[in-house]
Amino acid sequence: MRRAELIFAAILAAFSIYLMYMAQIPPLQIGWVPKKGPGSGAAPFWLSAGMLICAIWIFWRGWKGATPQGRSTEPFMDSYTTKMVAVTVGSIFMMFLATHFIGAYAAMFLFLLFYVGVFGKIPWPTTIAVSIAIPVFIFFLFESGMKILLPKGMSEPLFIPLYKMFVY
Amino acid sequence: MELLSHLMDGFSVAFQPFNLGMMALGCLLGLFMGAMPGLGSVNGVAILLPITFFVPPTAAIIFLAAIYYGAMYGGAISSIMLGIPGASTAVATTFDGRPMALQGKADFALVAAAVASFVGGTISVILFTLFAPPLADFALRFGPQETFALMVLAFATFVGLGGDDIPKTIFMILLGLVLATVGLDNISGRPRLIFFDLQGFYKGISFIVLAIGIYGIGEMLWTLETSRGKVEIASNKFTFKRLGEALKELKRAWKTMTFSSFLGYFVGVLPAAGATPAALMAYGLAKSFSDTPEKYGKGEISGVAAPEAANNAASTGSMLPMMTLGIPGSPTTAILLGGMVIWGLTPGPLLFIEQSEFVWGLTASLYAANLVTLMMNLALIPLFVWVLRMPFMILAPLIFVLCFVGSFAPDTRMFDPWLVLLFGFVGYVMRKLDYPLAPLVLAIVLGPLAEDSFRQSLISDQGDWTPIFTRPLSGIVMGCAALLFVAPMLKGMLRKNKAKAASGEQS
């Protein structure tokens, strides 16, 4: 945990410096512009400078052991947590990526099939029921009810008859 | 009299069939959201906000406020039945609620929680009705200097009263403010902080995206880690006879409920405090003032009633500064405030003049929502218990899918779900390292308002920033903010001095 606290504080400090750099790229100005007031880059630059000071402060306190995380000898993530976070974030990532190609509904179906059935070890009949019911519910709520069309990708032709029946 | 006539007008708005339907739906969804472990009002409001962009603002705020209320009621259900707080606001409810459930008195605890929530909610709505109009009238005198000073005060309360690590709290406030500046500058129209030249950043980072990431994905990751995907439900039977007995036993807690309601309301008004500390304070005080403090923690009915009355009262309390000053009192109200801006309304004192129907419709709906939620809560207890048996590995992916479509819907672009995933993961890591998340959400919502008011005040005073400190009202507010910023450091120094003195005496 201690190492995570220090590494994360260092990342935040580096991120703050990056933000400060971004905020002063011309034509952004960080000072007072005569007759116009503070430059457009002033707020992000000086706020990021504050972030940098805080990140150094956090690092220093962690280093001294002034925070519970700075003193902790426990691992940041145990094996269960690492696996759970990797699988969860990874499968959501794949769902978003797949949406660009096969559309939101097919991606959601595959995500649910994997997450509930394979990762969650829920019996397959329930898994299949859930994987179909949730996208169907979302279709009726968003497309039919609120007329918000989710991306369909290459699965678009399959939805054309449904649009005629439920959306328009 | 004017107040009553406004309130009557409000009831005529709240009781329009569509608004009434939205309120009932909101109460029901809120109860479910609150009852689910790891989900609370803030998650419910964040995930469901996007669907309100397609109904009129009054119906939308009534719906979201009902979710807020319902979730406050519902939080107790999982605290009692599972021993896991539905949300942090219901942590104190587990102290006595869980022992009661283990003694076979889960129904008593659930009834106590529902009735106490009703008492807390009702008392606080009455206080809201009385305090809101004069405060809004007073706030009409505010210029950009005062508005800016109030924002600083809101942030300072997180530092002074939040109880979290100070540099981490300040960092989160600053990060929220910086993220709010991403996109086109309101005044000059220049693009700022366009990371990797991605077109999506030109539109800025919406607070909804941040809130859904943190409170949807991040929170679920946290709950999956802490619960390990498994929860155990207490068994109990629910009958009308037992309901009557529970109400009889609850009679002796009425003083505690009333006191906790007032306490909760005033704690809720403070920006950094909110429902969680209100509930914990109410529990602590109820125990201290009790004749039988030894019974607390072992299944005392007042130990359930006190935090539940306080957390509901605090949720209404936090709406007071949001509606009258445009300063949200909690992360949930911060999201509500952001929603109001998207609906085309300007939160703050002018709302009471320009959008009186909206304000009073909401106020009246709070009275009605209390009653509806109480009845729903009592009637549907068996249903909630049944739903709580749903495996967590089904609930979690359902939330992830809702986060996906909820973040896609407002601007219908895939850029936002990707940002949600990023914020969700980073938010989870930050939470593990004890970085407070509420100031971040508050800052991204208030950021544009804070920057605009600061720049307006500088422009109107030809670059002179001293009027922010020298104008009487803003000066007083800035003074209070400075005190709040300095208070934790002074406290720390005093503690160190005392410790030194004590060790000196010992040696």
> ipTM score of the complex?
0.93
Enumerate the residues of chain A whose CB falls inside 8 A of the CB of residue B190. Answer: 27-28, 40
Contact A142 B225 (CB under 8 A): no
Averaged pLDDT, B255-263: 90
Averaged pLDDT, B440-469: 82
Enumerate the residues of chain B whose CB falls inside 8 A of the CB of residue A57. Answer: 167
First vs last C-alpha separation in chain B: 69
Across chain B, mean pLDDT equals: 83
B417 to chain A, closest Cα gap in Å? 7
Evaluate the CA torsion angle B488, B493, B495, B496 in order and state its sign: positive
Enumerate the residues of chain B whose CB falls inside 8 A of the CB of residue A12. Answer: 171
Band of residue B153 on the pLDDT scale cut at 50, 70, 90: confident
Amino acid identity of residue A25, one-letter, is I
Residue B340 token pair = 């109001």
Rounded distance between C-alpha atoms, residue B507 and residue B120, angstroms: 52
Chain B interface mutation, best of A92, A93, A114, A138, highest count of B Cβ atoms under 10 Å: A92
Band of residue B231 on the pLDDT scale cut at 50, 70, 90: low
Residue B352 token pair = 């009471």
CB B27 within 8 A of CB B70: yes
Element holding A32 (H helix, E strand): strand A32-33
Evaluate the CA torsion angle B229, B234, B236, B240 in order and state its sign: negative
Asked whether residue A58 falls in the same domain as residue A88, the answer is no
Evaluate the CA torsion angle B235, B76, B38, A127 in order and state its sign: positive
Asked whether residue A39 falls in the same domain as residue A118, the answer is no
Burial B189-224 (b: 16+ CB within 10 A, else e): eebbbbeeeeebbeebbbbbbbbbbbbbbbbbbebb
Asked whether residue A84 falls in the same domain as residue A67, the answer is no
Closest residue to B185, CB basis, from A4, A40, A48: A40
Model pLDDT, residue B175: 95
Q: Last residue of some domain: A25, A52, A71? A: A71
B32 to chain A, closest Cα gap in Å? 17
| Angle ∠(B30,B79,B398) on CA atoms, nearest 5 | 50
More confident site: B164 or A2: A2
B324 pLDDT more than 90: no
Closest residue to A96, CB basis, from B190, B421, B433: B421
Contact A96 B396 (CB under 8 A): no
Nearest CA in chain B to A93: B421
Averaged pLDDT, B434-445: 84
Averaged pLDDT, B409-438: 90
Contact A119 B393 (CB under 8 A): yes
Determine the angle formed by the axes of helices B301-317 and B275-289, rounding to 10 degrees: 140
Q: Per residue in B21-80, pLDDT tens?
A: 998 999 888 888 887 766 777 878 888 888 787 788 888 888 988 888 888 888 888 778
Rounded distance between C-alpha atoms, residue B341 and residue A104, angstroms: 29
- Lowest mean pLDDT segment, chosen from A42-51, B50-59, B296-305, B492-501: B492-501
Q: Count CB neighbours of B228 within 10 A.
A: 12
> Residue A78: left if φ>0, alpha if ψ -120 to 50, beta else—which one?
beta
Nearest CA in chain A to B448: A43
Asked whether residue A91 falls in the same domain as residue A29, the answer is no
Closest residue to B181, CB basis, from A44, A58, A81: A44
Enumerate the residues of chain A whose CB falls inside 8 A of the CB of residue B425. Answer: 85, 89
Q: Count CB neighbours of A36 within 10 A.
A: 14
Q: Per residue in B131-146, pLDDT tens?
A: 888 887 777 777 788 8
Q: Last residue of some domain: A49, A71, A93? A: A71
Residues near B233 by beta carbon (within 8 Å), at least 6 away in sequence: B81, B82, B385, B388, B389
Residues near A145 by beta carbon (within 8 Å), at least 6 away in sequence: none
More confident site: B12 or A127: A127
Closest residue to B409, CB basis, from A48, A93, A142: A142
Residue A71 CA: distances (Å) to CA of A1, A82, A106, B170: 8, 21, 47, 21
Asked whether residue A108 falls in the same domain as residue A143, the answer is yes
What is the interface size between A and B, counted as CB pairs within 8 Å?
Answer: 160
Q: For A37, list phi and psi in degrees, rounded to 5.
A: 95, -165
Contact A115 B393 (CB under 8 A): yes
Model pLDDT, residue B86: 63
Chain B CB within 8 Å of residue A121 CB: yes
Averaged pLDDT, B447-455: 82
Strands A32-33 and B183-184, how do they pair? unpaired
Contact B178 A67 (CB under 8 A): no
Percent of chain B with pLDDT over 70: 94
Element holding A75 (H helix, E strand): none
Site of tokens 């869980």? B98
Rounded distance between C-alpha atoms, residue B319 and residue B336, angstroms: 9
Whether residue A27 has a cis bond before it, omega within 30° of 0: yes
Enumerate the residues of chain B whose CB falls inside 8 A of the CB of residue A38. Answer: 454-455, 458
- Please name which of B51, B128, B57 lies closest in space to residue B355, comparing C-alpha atoms: B57
Asked whether residue A104 falls in the same domain as residue A53, the answer is no
Q: Last residue of some domain: A71, A94, A122? A: A71
Band of residue B328 on the pLDDT scale cut at 50, 70, 90: confident
Asked whether residue A8 falls in the same domain as residue A54, the answer is yes
Averaged pLDDT, B260-271: 84
The stretches in chain A having pLDDT less than 70 are 35-36, 167-168
CB B209 within 8 A of CB B419: yes
Residue B447 token pair = 């950021």
Asked whether residue A61 falls in the same domain as residue A107, the answer is no
Nearest CA in chain A to B173: A51
Contact A4 B405 (CB under 8 A): no
Asked whether residue A18 falls in the same domain as residue A51, the answer is yes
- Beta-strand ranges (E) seen in B308-397 are none
Closest residue to A134, CB basis, from B178, B401, B458: B401
Asked whether residue A87 falls in the same domain as residue A26, the answer is no
Site of tokens 């008004």? B269
Amino acid identity of residue B1, one-letter, is M
> Residue B84: left if φ>0, alpha if ψ -120 to 50, beta else—which one?
beta
Amino acid identity of residue B311, one-letter, is N
Nearest CA in chain B to A121: B393
Band of residue B299 on the pLDDT scale cut at 50, 70, 90: confident
Asked whether residue A94 falls in the same domain as residue A63, the answer is no
CB B243 within 8 A of CB B107: yes
| Angle ∠(B40,B42,B45) on CA atoms, nearest 5 | 105
Asked whether residue A66 falls in the same domain as residue A83, the answer is no
Number of domains in chain A: 2
Model pLDDT, residue B1: 64
CB B373 within 8 A of CB B380: no
Closest residue to B414, CB basis, from A1, A22, A151: A151
- Those of residues 99-118 in A touching chain B at CB distance below 8 A are 99-100, 104, 108, 111-112, 115-116
Structural domain including A7 reads 2-71
Closest residue to B397, CB basis, from A54, A104, A115: A115
B507 pLDDT more than 60: no
A152 to chain B, closest Cα gap in Å? 12
